[in-house]
Amino acid sequence: MEVMSALKAVAPNHPPSAADRIARHAEILSSQLRSMRDAMFPPTAQKTLRSFSSGEVARFVGVSDGYLRQLSLDGLGPVPALSGGGRRSYSLEQVNELRRFLSGHRPKEALSFLPRRREHEKLQVIAVANFKGGSAKTTSSLYLAQYLALHGYRVLAVDLDPQASLSAMFGHQPEFDIGENETLYGAIRYDGDRRSMREVIRPTYFDGIDLVPGNLELMEFEHETPRAMMQGGRGKDVFFRRVAGAIAEVEADYDVVVVDCPPQLGFLTVGALNAATAMLVTIHPQMVDVASMSQFLLMTADLMSVIEDAGGRLDLDFVRYVVTRHDPNDVPEAQIVALLRGLFADDVLAATAWKSTAIANAGLTKQSLYELDRGAVGRSAYDRALDSMNAVNGEIEGLIGKAWAR
Ligand SMILES: Nc1ncnc2c1ncn2[C@@H]1O[C@H](COP(=O)(O)OP(=O)(O)O)[C@@H](O)[C@H]1O
Ligand SMILES: [Mg+2]
């Protein structure tokens, strides 16, 4: 500030400066962005999910399209909507009704129709982490949660990032829609305003996914934790067990919890790691990102051993690196992916999430490709991008199945 007044004193009548111009540009740009966002996604908009064609449903459920047609001709299972051309489509609620119907109708295959976990199979808590912003943590979390829900699992998505991009993808604008004490902070805070986990969970428009939204309030946990530690919170209330404790309250309701971690290794991330049964480290295959990942890994390892020394068990069924925003035609990227595979072998998922303008564009309107109609993008671009996301998520689904000893 002193520098500012000194500068103003020596140039009392300066003409409109570069600073003025830039400040004006910032203002123009921000108001333009606001109106573009409001046009694409007005604050009052309620998200709804499209219906799915019988071909898509057949794939999700694992039966043939012909079999689905026969069922509906026989008047069995949910009644699909019929379009003019005789095409059948199902809402996601109906897809799940169909799963329940099929698991009763063909009990030998019940597990494939209704893959939710059995009593002896433990809840999977998957932390998606990396402190590099832009490594596609949120996108990966979203696509994983939606893929699992489309395939019949009961999913809880937890937005631990104060920037709340995951909540935004579910149609919540953190500044309008998420009030005080409505994030995970409400269920892990130290003072008397603490609430039960159930009170901060909300249903979403996507059948099978519930959400704990985020907003800036989550930062409070980073500020309050050091103070609480001074006052000596121990045992099951010690800071790093709080996320796990909150999730344990609702354990019976879900098969998989997907946690979108904040882009730093603070107390929230430590809590998520302690709660996790698996960790996905997203990585954009560029040299700068790989360099920062090595720091991330070092710090994570340090933190994990501190948690273990303090008596916290880290019980990870799997840790995998997920290559994201991958351009398979880019030679330097190919070299980095090869390097990662050379170093970490099978800990790198075989499938990579391909970079696609379809995914980036869908993100602008707060949608995933699962939500868009195939026709809305151009079939080949849509199919290519979705195939790569499905391959990544299918591999993760396989790892979950393995953790359940299926
Ligand atoms: N496979 C992809 N292809 C193209 N763009 C992507 C892809 N994955 C993510 N993005 C875009 O990259 C940006 C950063 O992704 P995001 O998931 O928000 O990262 P993070 O949560 O790690 O900060 C977003 O604009 C997102 O739409
Ligand atoms: Mg994010």
Q: What are phi and psi of 124, to 5 degrees?
A: -95, 125
Q: Could you tell me the pLDDT band of residue 251, with boundaries at 50, 70 and 90?
A: very high
The answer to whether residue 152 is domain-embedded is: yes
Higher per-residue confidence, 309 vs 402:
402
Instruction: Tell whether 235 and 343 lie within a shared domain.
Output: yes
Q: What is the mean pLDDT of residues 225-249?
A: 87
Q: Could you tell me the pLDDT band of residue 1, with boundaries at 50, 70 and 90?
A: low
The structural domain count of the chain equals 2
Instruction: Tell whether 297 and 350 lie within a shared domain.
Output: yes
Decide if 4 contacts 17 (C-beta within 8 A).
no
Q: What is the mean pLDDT of residues 187-198?
A: 96
pLDDT of amino acid 374: 76
Instruction: Tell whether 108 and 195 lie within a shared domain.
Output: no
Instruction: Tell whether 266 and 187 lie within a shared domain.
Output: yes
Ligand 1 midpoint to CA 134 (Å): 6
- CATH number where 65 lies: 1.10.1660.10
Instruction: Tell whether 72 and 210 lie within a shared domain.
Output: no
Q: How many CA atoms lie within 13 A of 359 on its CB side?
A: 22
Instruction: Tell whether 367 and 255 lie within a shared domain.
Output: yes
The residue whose C-alpha atom lies closest to atom 14 belonging to ligand 1 is: 134
Instruction: Tell whether 220 and 100 lie within a shared domain.
Output: no
Instruction: Tell whether 97 and 129 lie within a shared domain.
Output: no
Our mutation pick for probing the ligand 1 site, out of 139, 359, 384, 388, counting the most ligand atoms within 8 A of Cβ, is 139
End-of-domain residue from the set 113, 144, 164: 113
Q: What is the mean pLDDT of residues 27-38?
A: 78
pLDDT of amino acid 233: 64
pLDDT of amino acid 91: 96
Q: What strand order describes the sheet that includes 52-53? A: 52-53, 88-90, 81-82
Higher per-residue confidence, 305 vs 249:
249
Q: Give the DSSP letter of residue 283.
A: E
Ligand 2 midpoint to CA 167 (Å): 10
End-of-domain residue from the set 93, 113, 133: 113
Instruction: Tell whether 58 and 141 lie within a shared domain.
Output: no
How far, in Å, are 94, 113, 218 from residue 178 at the CA level?
Answer: 29, 35, 12
Type of residue at 94 = Q
The answer to whether residue 1 is domain-embedded is: no
Q: How many CA atoms lie within 13 A of 271 on its CB side?
A: 32
pLDDT of amino acid 4: 66
The residue whose C-alpha atom lies closest to atom 26 belonging to ligand 1 is: 360
Q: Could you tell me the pLDDT band of residue 246, with boundaries at 50, 70 and 90?
A: very high
- Among 70-84, 167-181, 226-240, the least confident range: 226-240
Index of the ligand 1 atom closest to the CA of residue 364: 27
Residue in the block written with tokens 């849509």: 382
The answer to whether residue 242 is domain-embedded is: yes
The residue whose C-alpha atom lies closest to atom 27 belonging to ligand 1 is: 360
The answer to whether residue 175 is domain-embedded is: yes
Ligand 2 midpoint to CA 13 (Å): 45
- Among 6-15, 26-35, 256-265, the least confident range: 6-15
Ligand 1 midpoint to CA 325 (Å): 7
The answer to whether residue 93 is domain-embedded is: yes
Q: What is the mean pLDDT of residues 249-273?
A: 95
The residue whose C-alpha atom lies closest to atom 16 belonging to ligand 1 is: 136
The residue whose C-alpha atom lies closest to atom 17 belonging to ligand 1 is: 136
Instruction: Tell whether 203 and 333 lie within a shared domain.
Output: yes
Ligand 2 midpoint to CA 246 (Å): 22
The answer to whether residue 21 is domain-embedded is: no
The residue whose C-alpha atom lies closest to atom 6 belonging to ligand 1 is: 360
Q: What is the mean pLDDT of residues 348-353?
A: 98
Ligand 2 midpoint to CA 159 (Å): 9
pLDDT above 90: residue 200: yes
The answer to whether residue 76 is domain-embedded is: yes
Ligand 1 residue neighbourhood (C-beta within 6 Å): 133-139, 165, 324-325, 353-356, 359-360, 363
Q: Tell me the residue range of the domain where 130 lies.
A: 124-403
Higher per-residue confidence, 84 vs 256:
256
Instruction: Tell whether 63 and 182 lie within a shared domain.
Output: no
Q: What is the mean pLDDT of residues 123-134?
A: 93
- CATH number where 364 lies: 3.40.50.300
Type of residue at 385 = A
**Mean pLDDT computed over every residue of the chain:** 91
Q: Could you tell me the pLDDT band of residue 388, with boundaries at 50, 70 and 90?
A: very high
Condensed to tens digits (0 to 9), the pLDDT of residues 304-343 reads 888 888 888 777 999 999 999 999 999 999 999 999 999 9
The answer to whether residue 133 is domain-embedded is: yes
Q: Could you tell me the pLDDT band of residue 397, with boundaries at 50, 70 and 90?
A: very high
Interatomic CA distance for residues 275 and 259, integer angstroms: 10
Higher per-residue confidence, 252 vs 381:
252
Index of the ligand 1 atom closest to the CA of residue 324: 1
C-alpha closest to that of 141 among 243, 282, 252: 282
Higher per-residue confidence, 216 vs 5:
216
Phi-psi region of 134 (alpha: psi -120 to 50; beta: other; left: phi over 0): left
Index of the ligand 1 atom closest to the CA of residue 165: 18
> Which ligand neighbours the alpha carbon of 140 most closely?
1
Q: What is the mean pLDDT of residues 152-161?
A: 98
Ligand 2 midpoint to CA 122 (Å): 27
pLDDT above 90: residue 147: yes
Decide if 135 contacts 324 (C-beta within 8 A).
yes
End-of-domain residue from the set 71, 93, 113: 113
Ligand 1 midpoint to CA 41 (Å): 19
Instruction: Tell whether 174 and 264 lie within a shared domain.
Output: yes
Interatomic CA distance for residues 341 and 321, integer angstroms: 10
pLDDT above 80: residue 37: no
